[in-house]
């Protein structure tokens, strides 16, 4: 446990020091705050726009952070050869992967929660009361980020940061197009295309499961069993990805 904690702490601090992070934080906060000034153009839709916009910004923020930092997480250690003194200690390679996963996740959780606080403050400033119903979006955003982080770790366990980041983006896009993909698969007539589309649909993570934005903005009812399904789905998918990353990392050489 001490060993994993040491890696978590180091990953956390190392990621926190990245300059790009500060840039993203400032930019995101600015975007959320600026949304206040959209009011005159909103024609009575302001409360919705405010919610929609700030939820979208914090989601995008989380995704960008995980892709930018997650894609270099392993590679930097190998490139800079800092991994040599870590991997030759009595540490399991799985502990290194898990420690890195949890270290960056912890950082992102803290950042995303801070975004939520800012979002609430902006709503309070604007409407005179908080809207805590929005907070339920956080755990689901974090689940989505966990899946993406799993994908990034998986690809960086054997390939370059550029490829890992690209795969992260591809999974993000296809993952959110999942319902459309299903629709396409259902309707397309050419068999080969149909199987391919279904194949993609089942393999790629369905990230729309974690997108509660529309439901929250329009105050639609949320169904507990559906939410529970999404939570299990996210956890299992993540564990599977991290497990794969560990298997590949175990085989890896450090030349």
Partner 1 sequence: MDMAIELENICRSFKNHFWQNKKQVLKDVSLEIYKGEIFGFLGPNGAGKTTTIKIITGLIRPDSGSIEIFGHPANALKVKKRIGFLPESPYFYEHLTGYEFLKISALLSNQKNYKSGILGLLEKVGLKHAVRLQLRKYSRGMLQRIGIAQALVAEPELLILDEPLTGLDPIGRKEIKDIILEQKAKGNTVFFSSHILPDAEAVCDRIGIIIDGQIIKVGELNKLLRKGLKTDEISLEDWFVKQIKRNE
5 makes contact with partner 1 (CB under 8 A): yes
Closer to partner 1 by Cβ: residue 225 or 253: 253
Binding mask 9-38 for partner 1 (x = CB under 8 A): xx--xx--x---------------------
What is the DSSP secondary structure assignment for residue 128, as one 8-state letter? S
187 makes contact with partner 1 (CB under 8 A): no
225 makes contact with partner 1 (CB under 8 A): no
Q: C-alpha distances in angstroms, 204 versus 167, 169, 171, 178?
A: 11, 12, 7, 8
Residues 90-129 that bind partner 1 (CB under 8 A): 90-92
* Residues in contact with 33: Cβ distance below 8 Å, sequence separation at least 6, in sequence order: 118, 122
Closer to partner 1 by Cβ: residue 1 or 43: 1
How far is 84 from 240, CA to CA, in rounded Å?
27
Q: How many residues bind partner 1 (CB under 8 A)?
A: 25
How far is 117 from 31, CA to CA, in rounded Å?
14
* Residues in contact with 180: Cβ distance below 8 Å, sequence separation at least 6, in sequence order: none
Residue 213: how many other CB atoms lie within 10 Å: 18
144 makes contact with partner 1 (CB under 8 A): no
Question: Closest approach of Cβ 65 to partner 1, in Å?
Answer: 18
Any idea how long the chain is? 255
243 makes contact with partner 1 (CB under 8 A): no
- Binding residues for partner 1, per CB under 8 A? 2-3, 5-7, 9-10, 13-14, 17, 80-82, 84-92, 253-255
């Amino acid at each position: 446990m001490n060993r994993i904690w040491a890696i978590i702490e180091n990953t956390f601090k190392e990621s926190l020091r990245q300059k790009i992070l500060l840039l993203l934080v400032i930019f995101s906060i600015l975007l959320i705050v600026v949304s206040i000034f959209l009011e005159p153009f909103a024609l009575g839709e302001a409360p919705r726009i405010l919610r929609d916009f700030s939820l979208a910004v914090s989601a995008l923020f989380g995704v960008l952070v995980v892709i930018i930092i997650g894609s270099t997480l392993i590679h930097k250690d190998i490139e800079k050869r800092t991994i040599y003194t870590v991997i030759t200690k009595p540490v399991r390679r799985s502990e290194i992967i898990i420690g890195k996963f949890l270290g960056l996740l912890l950082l992102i959780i803290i950042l995303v929660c801070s975004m939520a606080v800012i979002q609430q403050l902006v709503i309070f400033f604007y409407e005179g009361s908080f809207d805590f119903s929005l907070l339920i979006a956080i755990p689901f955003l974090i689940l989505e980020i966990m899946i993406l982080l799993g994908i990034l770790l998986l690809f960086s366990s054997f390939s370059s940061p550029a490829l890992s980041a690209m795969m992260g983006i591809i999974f993000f896009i296809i993952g959110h197009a999942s319902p459309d993909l299903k629709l396409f698969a259902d309707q397309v007539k050419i068999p080969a295309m149909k199987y391919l589309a279904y194949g993609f649909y089942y393999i790629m993570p369905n990230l729309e499961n974690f997108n509660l934005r529309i439901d929250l903005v329009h105050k639609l009812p949320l169904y507990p069993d559906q939410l529970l399904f999404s939570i299990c789905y996210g956890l299992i998918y993540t564990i599977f990805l991290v497990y794969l990353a560990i298997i590949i990392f175990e085989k890896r050489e450090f030349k």
